[in-house]
Amino acid sequence: MSDSEDKERLAIDGGVPSRQRKDPPMYPGGMMIDAEEEQAVLETLRSKRLFRYYGPQDGPSQVALLEEEFGRMLGSPHALAVTSGTAALICALQGVGVGPGDEVIVPAYTWIASASAVAAVGGIPVLAEIDESLTLDPADVERKISPFTRAIMPVHMRGVPCRMDRLLEIGARRGLALVEDVAQADGASFGGQRLGTLGDAGCFSFQFNKILTAGEGGMLLTRSEAVYKRALMYHDVVGGLRNHFPTDEILWGINFRMAELQAAVMRVQLKRLEGLLATMRRSKQVLTSGLQKIARRKSISLQEIPDPAGDASIALIFFTRDAGTAGQIAAALQAENIGAGVLYRPDVTDYHIYAHWTPLMEQRPWTPNGGPWRWAQREIRYTRGDCPRSLDLLGRAIHLNVNPLLSDSDLEETLDGFEKVLGKLA
């Protein structure tokens, strides 16, 4: 066999893989950790000031500085650092006043924490379909509104901004709060405004898998003084006292306070954000234009991006004609050393998809008498078939990380692999 024939042959059939190397690990901020983070941690440790509110050293706390810098960079007058993205969501829901029996509309495709946060404040997650953007379908959100609905939770999955113009319009018209889950979309925007600053509150995660990271951590942004005050009180057992609220306004809180060491790391990570976004956007542009050419000949379609300029560009997603084809294409791409995967399989548990959220599907309470569904005293039902359109889209979707460490030749070879695999299988 000639060399060129070998190049044509799919790697899954014994041909030469298009990509010479596999992707590096996909931890955008995590892989950037270097001497700067080390220095920041050492300085904080040596100061012995490890708690935001006091210590042997005076001066501003790392957490307070991070809040100021994060809020300024994203354009929010208030920022509250917390221990996780889930903690940020819980504080935001308390902040906007979601409580027992209140319904919150969440997308069928999101990390289960979005729904867990609603249940944690006694609220009831109501599932809505996603559309070809793989984010909330505004038309289905509208259909799912009931007299009990208090809030909508747009989740900017895989760095892609939701259709915020339409969701904000629905929220305003129906008198509902919008709590944005920005855990996967640090720095992304819609209509030139950063995500997390469009709704009533925006929630970020600094867990290790996210764009920026301190291992764990979270942040809440809001332009509302009232939401900020409630979140501030809730995130600290004595938040009301500590922040000098009038005694008759004080509510109890729990502890979600960020540690100084985490904030020291995050302040360095924040400086890396624009560079990471620029790199990933450039790479995604290259991959997208190559894929668009193939899409004109083959039966694939690209994910719809409600505001392409605002996309954080951490992922490239396209749809094939059916789930069987998606499985074949993903396997063939993997053999080419391209880190592709399908987004949903009924038989593979993945807590990003509502159908696999067994504790929610079965309305499992922590105690026999507990649980928001029982307290609600009305019939609430979940089934795996609740959002069929979402499952169909996710089942036909192929996902690739847009790794900031990809070189130009990695990108070229990825496009070669697309040509080869989609030419034969799409």
Q: Which two tokens stand for residue 168?
A: 């904000």
Residue-wise burial string across 354-370, b where 16 or more C-beta atoms lie within 10 A, e elsewhere: bbbbeebbeeeeeeeee
Shortest distance in whole angstroms from residue 425 CB to ligand PLP: 30
Establish if 67 lies at the interface with ligand PLP (CB under 6 A): no
**Taking the complex as a whole, how short is the minimal distance between the CB of residue 403 and ligand PLP, in angstroms?**
17
The residue of the chain with the least Cβ separation from ligand PLP equals 85
Per CB under 6 A, the segment of 108-116, 285-293, 381-389, 397-405 that binds ligand PLP is: 108-116
The only residue of 218, 240, 253, 417 in contact with ligand PLP, by rule CB under 6 A: 218
What's the closest the beta carbon of residue 82 comes to ligand PLP, in angstroms?
9
Tokens of 153: 């939770």
CA distances from 36 to 71, 218, 271 (A): 22, 21, 11
Applying CB under 6 A, which of residues 189, 207, 288, 320 lies at the interface with ligand PLP? 207
Q: Is 110 in the site for ligand PLP (CB under 6 A)?
A: yes
Q: Which of 410, 191, 181, 400 is CA-nearest to residue 311? A: 191
CB of 327 to ligand PLP, least distance (A): 24
Only one of the segments 39-47, 107-115, 363-371, 396-404 lies at the binding site for ligand PLP (rule: CB under 6 A); that segment is 107-115
Q: Please pick, from the candidates 155, 162, 176, 394, the single residue that binds ligand PLP as defined by CB under 6 A.
A: 155
Of the candidate spans 55-63, 65-73, 81-89, 283-291, the one that interacts with ligand PLP by CB under 6 A turns out to be 81-89
Nearest to 66 by CA among 56, 79, 76, 77: 79
Distances (CA, A) of 406 to 28, 255, 282, 415, 425: 11, 40, 11, 13, 25
Least separation in angstroms between residue 60's CB and ligand PLP is 25
Stretch that binds ligand PLP, among 61-69, 70-78, 176-184, 278-286 (CB under 6 A): 176-184
Q: Are 106 and 357 in contact (CB under 8 A)?
A: no
Q: In the range 268-297, which residues lie near ligand PLP by CB under 6 A?
A: none
CA-based radius of gyration for the chain: 23
* DSSP, residue by residue, 2-44: -HHHHHHS-GGGT---S-SSPPPP--TTGGG--HHHHHHHHHH
Q: Which residues bind ligand PLP (CB under 6 A)?
A: 84-86, 110-111, 113-114, 155, 181, 183-184, 205, 207, 218
